[in-house]
Amino acid sequence: MYNSRNSKVAYFIFDKIADIIGLYDQSFQALALQLPKRRLGMGINIFPNRHTEIQFEYYKDYAYKNSVTASGLNYAMTGRSKVTDTYALQLIVNF
């Protein structure tokens, strides 16, 4: 099971429409898929023209605890109790 909550606020940056994005994701029983237990993030989405988007996002992932185990396809997996920082820059062209 994977839950997601997102929120957006629109602004104008460089005379272009932009969204400020905040998000929270949480997974349950998804260690075997190597998804983080929780993810917090924020970002900005700029629309330079009608068909193009530029996104910059920052995520902080919280992994499952070391004491948690899950059965994968060929072997058992354990949590890593790790916090990971992720930065993403995306150029999206809609056609």
pLDDT class of 74 with cuts at 50, 70, 90: confident
Q: What is the mean pLDDT of residues 5-26?
A: 71
State the number of CA atoms in the 13 A half-sphere of 75 facing the CB: 2
Q: Are the C-beta atoms of residues 15 and 3 closer than 8 Å to each other?
A: no
Question: Is the pLDDT assigned to residue 40 strictly greater than 70?
Answer: yes
pLDDT class of 90 with cuts at 50, 70, 90: very high
Please tell me the pTM assigned to this model.
0.68
Q: Which of 21-25, 26-30, 82-86 has the lowest mean pLDDT?
A: 26-30
